Amino acid sequence: MGLALIVHGGAGRFVTARQEPAREGCRAAAAAGWEVLRRGGTALAAVEAAIIVLEDDPEFDAGRGSFLNAEGRVQMDAGVMDGMTLDVGSVACVERVRHPVVLAGAVLRSPHVLLVGPGAEKFAVESGIPLCDPAELVTPEETERWASGRGAVDDETGDAGGRGQHPDTVRDTEHGTVGAVAVDGAGRLAAATSTGGIAGKHPGRIGDTPLVGCGFYAEHPIGAVSSTGDGEAFIRMMLARRAAGYLEAGLTAQAAAEAAIRVLADRVGAQGGLIVLDAAGHFGCAWNTPEMACAHISEGMAAPYARCGDAADSEP
């Protein structure tokens, strides 16, 4: 099958007015990643290119437009994995980085696997990645959400709707975590995920997104996975690796995605979604929230096929 790429823009409840911008954002990200693959770039470069577009788009909870934590600050997490080399790079709780996925990529190319907070930002400077003013990442919409307490995490329980329930999905989330998976012309697989986490989270809280095997995973010749949803539950279930395990056991990419979401719901009563790609470029996408934003493109398609709720391109 050859080249293929899928992106997602989070799983939750996208109110009608946000479905079209989310669909359009995913479409643009898939097109950016596809351009890299088409020109002979690696799967790793393609997923990074796709995520950069989504981190720049304030429709999504990643980079600029991230949810604010309980103190009204953006704290972002991201992770990337090269399925061929099994190199992993992750960053967590970064506040002054415009594109956390780029910093995660620099970590992947270093001896480290996971760097957090000020140490990760120090590493950014050492790697030639400029730091930004944290205010650049904050949008008026998120300031307003934070000030109104919408989507805030309950101080007592640590979540917004009971154990395992993701605040995004029980409140009306309007945007989500982003992710991408790809396979390139040399059969290399890669996965990347980036997030501002959950609205009103405790300072220092880290979800599944930067944790390999939980928020993302890629392994040659099995496949690549990126997840979104109740971070704590995805960590408990190591859901991205679990989905890859279903591929290994012979399930199709779509069946693997569905099986992972089923076990997430059955075992820990949680919500979310994931995208799955096998080494041949077959893709799967499953979620148990009202909507999930995603787009995919593979060889033979003239343009990405993108959808979010009722907003969808005509069938590819």
Q: Pick from 5, 7, 9, 10: which binds ligand ASP (CB under 6 A)?
A: 10
Q: Which is nearest to 159 in space by CA: 113, 209, 202?
A: 202
Q: How far is the CB of 208 from ligand ASP (least distance, A)?
A: 5
Q: Which of residues 133-162 bind ligand ASP (CB under 6 A)?
A: none
Regarding 87 and contact with ligand ASP (CB under 6 A), the answer is no
Regarding 271 and contact with ligand ASP (CB under 6 A), the answer is no
Which of 177, 193, 195, 289 is an active site residue? 177
Q: Pick from 63, 151, 200, 207: which binds ligand ASP (CB under 6 A)?
A: 207
Q: How far is the CB of 108 from ligand ASP (least distance, A)?
A: 20
In the residue annotation, 177 being an active-site residue is answered as yes
Q: Which stretch binds ligand ASP (CB under 6 A): 91-99, 136-144, 147-155, 207-215?
A: 207-215
Q: How far is the CB of 14 from ligand ASP (least distance, A)?
A: 12
* Residue 3 or 292 having the CB closest to ligand ASP: 292
Q: Which stretch binds ligand ASP (CB under 6 A): 88-96, 206-214, 247-255, 296-304?
A: 206-214
Q: How far is the CB of 195 from ligand ASP (least distance, A)?
A: 5
Regarding 165 and contact with ligand ASP (CB under 6 A), the answer is no
Find out whether 279 and 187 touch, Cβ atoms under 8 Å. yes
Number of residues that bind ligand ASP (CB under 6 A): 13
With helix as H, strand as E and coil as C, how does the chain read? CCCEEEEEEEEECCCHHHHHHHHHHHHHHHHHHHHHHHCCCCHHHHHHHHHHHHHHCCCCCCCCCCCCCCCCCCCEEEEEEECCCCCEEEEEEECCCCCHHHHHHHHHCCCCCEEEHHHHHHHHHHCCCCCCCHHHHCCHHHHHHHHHCCCCCCCCCCCCCCCCCCHHHHCCCCCCCEEEEEECCCCCEEEEEEECCCCCCCCCCCCCCCCECCCEEEECCCEEEEEEECHHHHHHHCHHHHHHHHHHCCCCHHHHHHHHHHHHHHHHCCCEEEEEEECCCCEEEEECCCEEEEEEEECCCCCCEEEECCEECCCC
Residue with tokens 């950014």: 124
Regarding 75 and contact with ligand ASP (CB under 6 A), the answer is no
**Angstrom distances, CA of residue 212 to CA of 32, 80, 271, 303:** 24, 8, 19, 30
Regarding 63 and contact with ligand ASP (CB under 6 A), the answer is no
Q: How far is the CB of 160 from ligand ASP (least distance, A)?
A: 12
Regarding 79 and contact with ligand ASP (CB under 6 A), the answer is no
Q: Pick from 95, 159, 168, 291: which binds ligand ASP (CB under 6 A)?
A: 168
Q: Which stretch binds ligand ASP (CB under 6 A): 33-41, 113-121, 122-130, 223-231?
A: 223-231
Phi and psi at residue 199, to the nearest 5°: -65, 135
Phi and psi at residue 227, to the nearest 5°: -115, 165
Q: Pick from 69, 75, 195, 298: which binds ligand ASP (CB under 6 A)?
A: 195
* Residue 33 or 197 having the CB closest to ligand ASP: 197
Q: How far is the CB of 270 from ligand ASP (least distance, A)?
A: 10
Distance of CA 53 to the CA centre of its chain: 12
Q: Which stretch binds ligand ASP (CB under 6 A): 115-123, 193-201, 261-269, 295-303?
A: 193-201
**Would you tell me which residues interact with ligand ASP (CB under 6 A)?**
10, 168, 176-177, 195, 197-198, 207-209, 228-229, 231
Residues marked active site are found at: 177
